[in-house]
A and B are shown apart, each in its own frame.
Chain A
Amino acid sequence: SQTIHQWPATLVQPVGSPLSLECTVEGTSNPNLYWYRQAAGRGLQLLFYSVGIGQISSEVPQNLSASRPQDRQFILSSKKLLLSDSGFYLCAYSGTGNTGELFFGEGSRLTVL
């Protein structure tokens, strides 16, 4: 069966520190992978998506970057965090069934102080 995991679940970081959030998918090959951010009381903002290894598309200019070093691994990074980077980050992949829906990880809550 297909599963998706992301970690860490909770992170508190000072302004200016680096960030690395990791997401892995199991049970599927060559998935489309996504990073979303959900700010408090707001909807989902698509940050990055990837259709293959090394292929990253960015939806909005920002302080973050993404990488896909392996087929089923998607990493969200920052060299220097800003206060505005605080939020709930969700990794997702699109399924291969006939409904095309997204499957989401458990989420990573980042607080920048």
Chain B
Amino acid sequence: GEDVEQSLFLSVREGDSSVINCTYTDSSSTYLYWYKQEPGAGLQLLTYIFSNMDMKQDQRLTVLLNKKDKHLSLRIADTQTGDSAIYFCAETEDYGQNFVFGPGTRLSVLP
């Protein structure tokens, strides 16, 4: 079946850039998402990218998609302590159905 992999932990200094990586196996992935989960809360959509795009930028967030390598990354510029959270990569082939989530990357921002 489809699989999504992420490294589990990442630590960065405040003010540095964070890069969270994700790989997926489903070559039919159409929509790819990044979600953020703060402690004790549900997941909130950060950003998304369609499979026909290579890059998407939204303020401090930059998403890069390499379809050939099935690799997705999320770059957070000028990382702040409020960015400390778990970040989930997710993909779906079918609009609104059959989402596959990665295990989440716990980002720790050090002062």
- Check A109–B96 contact: CB distance below 8 A: no
In the complex, number of A-B residue pairs with CB atoms less than 8 Å apart: 51
Contact B88 A43 (CB under 8 A): yes
Query: Interface residue count for A (Cβ, 8 Å)?
Result: 24
Give the residue name and chain of the B residue nearest to A109 (CB). Answer: B40
- Please report the C-alpha to C-alpha distance between residue A107 and residue B86 in the assembled complex, in whole angstroms: 15
Whether B96 and A32, one on each chain, are in contact in the complex, defined by CB atoms closer than 8 angstroms, is yes
Contacts of B59 on A, CB cut-off 8 Å?
none
Say which size band chain B's interface belongs to: 20 to 34
CB pair A107 B96 closer than 8 Å: no
With a cutoff of 8 Å between Cβ atoms, the chain A residues found around residue B103 in the complex are 42-43
**In the complex, are the beta carbons of A90 and B43 less than 8 A apart?**
yes
Query: A106 at interface (Cβ–Cβ under 8 A)?
Result: yes
Residue of B nearest to A43 (CB): B103
Binary per-residue interface labels of chain A (93-113) against chain B in the complex, 1 for a CB within 8 Å, 0 otherwise: 011100111111111010000
Once bound together, how far apart are the Cα atoms of A109 and B41, in whole Å?
A: 10
Q: A106 touching B101 by the CB < 8 A rule?
A: no
CB < 8 Å neighbour of A107 from B40, B45, B88: B40
Q: Contacts of B104 on A, CB cut-off 8 Å? A: 43-44
- Interface CB pairs A-B, < 8 A, 28: A32-B97, A42-B103, A43-B102, A43-B103, A44-B43, A44-B88, A46-B99, A51-B97, A90-B42, A90-B43, A92-B43, A94-B96, A99-B31, A100-B95, A100-B96, A101-B31, A101-B33, A101-B45, A102-B90, A102-B99, A103-B45, A104-B35, A104-B43, A105-B42, A106-B41, A107-B40, A107-B42, A109-B40
A interface, CB within 8 angstroms of B: 32, 34, 41-44, 46, 49, 51, 90, 92, 94-96, 99-107, 109
